[in-house]
Amino acid sequence: MRTIVTYDTHHGTAKRLAEIIANKLGCNCIDVDTPFMAEDETSYDAIVLVFGFRGPYTAQLTKLFLNRMAGKLANKHVIVVGEGIFSDKEFPSVADSLKELAKPLSFHSYFTKGELRMNTLTFEESHLLGKFAELTGMKLADMGEFSETEAGKIADNISEFLAGAPVVEAEVQKRWVCSVCGYIHTGDNPPEECPTCHQPSTAFKPLS
C-alpha cells in the first residue's frame, strides 16, 4: 500500500502525531506546505491527513485546503486525523465535508486531544476562541493533554485498516518509441512531433 502522511501543525503536537502514524506505517511524513518531494500524490493508494485544530477559524482554513485537494483524493483510501482542543463541533463537520468533496474509495476519521498555548494566539484568534468558549461552555486555558499512547492507538487502527484495504490498480498507459532516435513517449497517442529529433508522429511505434 503506497501511503503518505501529511500534517498541518501549530504547536508541534500534530507533527508528532503524524510522525507516530508514519513510523507505524513505514512511510514518509511531510508538512502540507512542503511539495510532495517531486512525487505526484496521484501515485499513492492512501493519504493520511493530520490537522492541528485550535478553533473554528482553523477548521475553516482546513476546509478550504481540503476543497483544493479534493480532486486529488478521489478513489483513494483517505484518513483524516484531527488533533486539538475539541472534537464535538468542528472536526466532524470538516471530516464530513471532505468525505463529500473527495469521493474517496474509503474514508476514516480520528480525533485526539492536543495542546493549546494561549500565548501563541493572535488577537483575532483569542477573540474567536473566546466567543466559541462562551457558546460551548468550554474552558479556555492552556492544555497539554496530547497522549502518545492515544496517538499510538490511532496509528495501530490505521495500520490495521490499510493492511486489509484493497490496492487500486494503476491505469496502464500506452508507451510509444520513436523509430529514429529511440525517444519513449507515454500516453494514449504518440506526440505530434518527437521532442528529440523532431520526426512526425508517424515515426512512433507502439512499445510492448
pLDDT at 17 > cutoff 80: yes
- Total residues found in the chain within this entry: 208
Residues 149 and 184 in one domain: no
CATH assignment at residue 185: 2.20.28.10
Domain containing 192: what range? 175-206
CATH assignment at residue 27: 3.40.50.360
Residues 134 and 85 in one domain: yes
Q: What digits encode the pLDDT tens for the residues 80-130?
A: 998 886 555 677 777 887 788 777 888 998 988 876 566 666 777 677 777
Q: How many domains does the chain have?
A: 2
Residues 132 and 182 in one domain: no
Residues 43 and 142 in one domain: yes
Residues 55 and 91 in one domain: yes
Of all residues in the chain, the percent with pLDDT exceeding 70 is 77
Q: What digits encode the pLDDT tens for the residues 139-159?
A: 666 555 678 888 999 999 999
Q: What digits encode the pLDDT tens for the residues 57-93?
A: 677 778 777 777 777 787 889 999 988 865 556 777 7
170 found inside a domain: no
| Sheet containing 204-206, strands listed edge to edge, beginning at the edge strand earlier in sequence | 184-186, 175-178, 204-206
Residues 121 and 151 in one domain: yes
Read off the pLDDT of each residue in 7-12 and give the average, rounded to a whole number.
78
Residues 41 and 121 in one domain: yes
Residues 99 and 156 in one domain: yes
169 found inside a domain: no
Distances (CA, A) of 188 to 56, 114, 200: 46, 48, 16
84 found inside a domain: yes
Residues 132 and 195 in one domain: no
